[in-house]
Amino acid sequence: MEQMFLAKSIALSLMAALSMSAQETKDRRWAISNGSITANYRLAASTQRFRLDSIVDAVTGARWAAPTDSAVSPINLTTDAGTIDGRTPMILRASRLESIAQGGTRTQIVLRDSAEQFEFTLDLEVWPQHPAVRQSLQVVPLAQAVVIRAADFMPWQFSAAGGPYRTFQVNQWAIIPQPVNFEPIEMKLSPAGVAQTVSSGSGATQCAWLALRDRQDRGLFWGWEFDGRAEVSIRHDARRDRLTVSSEITGLNHPVAAGEPFEVPASFIGVFHGDWDEAGYRTQRFAETAIAAAAPGGVRFPYAVWDSWGYQKEIDEVVLRRNAELAAQAGIELFVVDLGWAPQMGDWVEDPKKFPSGLKALARYVHSLGMKFGLHFVPTEAAPASAVLREHPDWVSSETYHYHGAVSLCPGHKPVREWVLKEVLKIIDNYEVDWILQDGQTLVKFCNRKDHTHAADDSNYSNSVDGIDWIVAEARRLRPNTVWENCANGGSMMTFKMLRNYVTSITNDASGSLGARQGMFGATFPFPPRYADRYMPDSKLNAYVTRSFMFGGPWVFMNRLPEMSDDDLRFAQSEVARFKGFRDEVRDGKIFHLSARPNEGVVDAVQTLEGGEAVAVVTRDQATAPRFVLRLRGLDEAQLYTVTFADDPRVLTMSGQQLMEQGVPINFEEFRDAEIVYARPVHP
């Protein structure tokens, strides 16, 4: 099937390339298609303007057409020399088609403005069976150096005949300036042209994702690959028949030398038909194929993890060795030593008092127990008394973010990023590290220092693209067997650029059972479930606690294992085995949010469906009634299913129609309780 889609995509793109040999009086047209979506672009012969004509859902036939008088183009930027957009005459320099990873195809269109001041390379990429198009743009000034002052990476405009519209976005994690924890937000889009805005990136409020659907549940979704601060706005002007999306990179003032490239952040647009779970599913599957860092360990990922933060900084090799023994017995696969292994942040060597045998010896012991070894690392912070700050006090950012008393370094400053890279490579090599738990408060720093290599008024773009993104990408390139987990004192950098560099991300930072479910619930709309890992703080274990952390990405224990009873350790071992029993279905399946957002006083439920098999985790959080009727979704109505439970001894046989319409009664024994429900097809 994938080969058929690929052949169709190549054939359509070749037709577009062949049409370029037509007479100069004809428009140049490109149809970027894979059988699931078609994006039509045109360079008009009469005006020499390059623009999008339409996005078409090739399955349903839904067409999102640009207004005939629209001047919106994928090329939309402002420099100190002026603005270049859909009104700027363009000259076609080249167009080519090529195959890319994962069976995808790339159509590359190279244009110059008519004055030949700039060259633009636009890449449009599609993958079989994914109804989305990824676009990226490289800009090269030809004649002289320029300063890029604005670059719209989400320039879209459509006729708005399908209104009224609803939009959907999700917060990320933050405590300051106000607490947010992955709240899903559905809103009506005003037809009066009032903008709704998504504020994304490191330290911002929302995830870098937006979905929209009309009254017939035909929809669009967008995601963008930028870790710095950005704002994406969407407007519906019914009077002018316009649905407009635009973006702004905060504080962009990026100098670019003649002949050097400037990378506009990549983004994607997709089509769907259905509810917000469908929009999320289409986004997640596309992101796994086209963007996300490869998951380690095949079906063994997401990992069951132990992390030392239950001891905070009071760790040493004796404590950690004993915990490693018990973790391995419980079925833990990754053992992470958190903050406190080094003398202080910035001095990235083991503390000899805590590790007289050396940290490498601990790593080898962990490996001998069959687990991978991970270390906590803070790339952009250093203690005031650290050697790096004594030697280079000028490396600090102009704003400090007060992470555990540290001073913030500026990763956009070239000497800083090179030093950080050297340090993390040394750590990986010296201590045989399989996993880096990156941490820190606000990874993209604000810095307006004039003695740094970045422009003083360009810290947002420079500290992102040339800073933290460069560091992680280079470390992964040079040490490909070591993978990275995103943490920014919690999940406060939830972007699709983050997906490209990291194999998972924390949602919220050890926020308890309810907070963990809330974070997972919201994060599993825009992001693949493996990007919703949860830290389980040290607590008494029971079904309510463990199953609050079981659904999503890596499940991270922070319990002091030697202090647990034998019964508790056996229970932990059995729960880890349950987690491993369905983690691949969660990772690869379609997520259904079966209830409202988790909260006290109610029952919440979330389900995955993969290969015809369904698994749901149902949690009672002080709900008055001890009984809840669970209605699964996405099943084959005519198929018979065997229904079993983690705790309830019942074994039921029900049709898909019964499971979805009548539902299954769940009986809870405790005021706070949780059950796992499995529905497996009955095969003759």
CATH of the domain at 123: 2.70.98.60
Tokens of 16: 């577009």
Q: What is residue 422's three-state secondary structure?
A: helix
Q: Residue 259 has what DSSP assignment? A: T
Residue 97 lies in a domain: yes
- In the predicted model, is pLDDT for residue 22 greater than 80? no
Tokens of 46: 């009469």
Cβ proximity of 243 and 170 under 8 Å: no
Q: What is residue 577's three-state secondary structure?
A: helix
Q: Which amino acid is at 122?
A: L
pLDDT in tens, 191-242: 999 999 999 999 999 999 999 999 999 999 999 999 999 999 999 999 999 9
Number of domains in the chain: 2
Residue 505 lies in a domain: no
Residue 185 lies in a domain: yes
Which of 267, 290, 313 lies at the terminal end of a domain, its last residue?
Answer: 290
Domain at 647, CATH number: 2.60.40.1180
Residue with tokens 């998972």: 504
Q: ω into residue 74 within 30 of 0, thus cis?
A: no
Cβ proximity of 648 and 630 under 8 Å: no
Which of 290, 309, 337 lies at the terminal end of a domain, its last residue?
Answer: 290
Phi first, then psi: give them for residue 461, nearest 5 degrees: -70, -45
What's residue 28's pLDDT?
Answer: 97
- Using a 10 angstrom Cβ sphere, with 0-12 exposed, 13-18 middle and 19 or more buried, the burial of residue 588 is middle
Cβ proximity of 253 and 243 under 8 Å: no
Cβ proximity of 648 and 625 under 8 Å: no
Residue 652 lies in a domain: yes
Model confidence at 538, pLDDT cuts 50, 70, 90, reads confident
pLDDT in tens, 547-587: 999 999 999 999 999 999 999 999 999 999 999 999 999 99
- In the predicted model, is pLDDT for residue 37 greater than 90? yes
- In the predicted model, is pLDDT for residue 7 greater than 80? no
Q: Average the pLDDT over each of 62-71, 361-370, 571-580, 619-628 and give the range with the smallest value.
A: 62-71
| CB < 8 Å & 24+ apart, contacts of 426-431 | 426/348, 427/348, 427/375, 427/377, 428/475, 428/479, 428/482, 429/479, 430/349, 430/359, 430/360, 431/350, 431/359, 431/360, 431/363, 431/373, 431/375
Tokens of 467: 């800073």
What's residue 4's pLDDT?
Answer: 44
Residue 462 lies in a domain: no
Between CA 142 and CA 150, with CA 146 as vertex, the angle to 5 degrees is 115
Cβ proximity of 495 and 200 under 8 Å: yes
Model confidence at 300, pLDDT cuts 50, 70, 90, reads confident
Residue 361 lies in a domain: no
pLDDT in tens, 631-659: 999 999 999 999 999 999 999 999 999 99
Model confidence at 177, pLDDT cuts 50, 70, 90, reads confident
Helix 359-368 / helix 414-431 crossing angle, nearest 10 deg? 50
Q: What is residue 59's three-state secondary structure?
A: coil
82: phi > 0 → left, psi -120 to 50 → alpha, else beta; which?
Answer: left
- 387's CB contacts (< 8 A; 6+ apart) are 346, 347
Q: Average the pLDDT over each of 12-21, 284-293, 387-396 and give the range with the smallest value.
A: 12-21
Residue 108 lies in a domain: yes
Q: Which amino acid is at 627?
A: R
Residue 216 lies in a domain: yes
Which residues span the domain enclosing 126?
Answer: 2-290
Model confidence at 11, pLDDT cuts 50, 70, 90, reads very low
684 vs 571, residue with greater confidence = 571
CA dist 92 → 52, 105, 136, 235, 262 (Å): 15, 20, 17, 32, 19
Model confidence at 684, pLDDT cuts 50, 70, 90, reads confident
Which of 272, 290, 308 lies at the terminal end of a domain, its last residue?
Answer: 290
- Taking alpha carbons only, the member of 491, 60, 505 closest to residue 270 is 60
Rounded to the nearest 5 percent, the helix, strand and coil shares of the chain are 25, 35, 40
